[in-house]
Structure 1
């Protein structure tokens, strides 16, 4: 795939768009790529992730199979 040619095709397509809904969706997509997911989650979620990292550093890990067996009834 020639990435430069694809970019040019996208630019041409974008320039020809007349559908405001599609343009709005593209703007939203662009914004979603500009933000870091870490900045979008709650303080509680951040604290739980950080706690999990500390536990992992201490070797307090649960094998994937064991977790899946425990939560299999909800999957």
Structure 2
């Protein structure tokens, strides 16, 4: 199997797993899957590049200072355009 076939196989597996996750209503199964990801140490922070991390930190610092617009206000603004 060449690299392209391998990558396509991984993508097909991910799609299949997404489909199965979306179809299930079993909370115990979802909890087990979530635990697997937590145990693997998968963290979105690790997937970000340095610029994205800095932007996230800037946003957190602004929020700590109260320099943000509450979600409710943002949604009110977007709903005006509908």
Q: Same-fold call, TM > 0.5?
A: no
Q: State the TM-score, normalized to the length of structure 2.
A: 0.41
Q: State the TM-score, normalized to the length of structure 1.
A: 0.44
Larger radius of gyration: 1
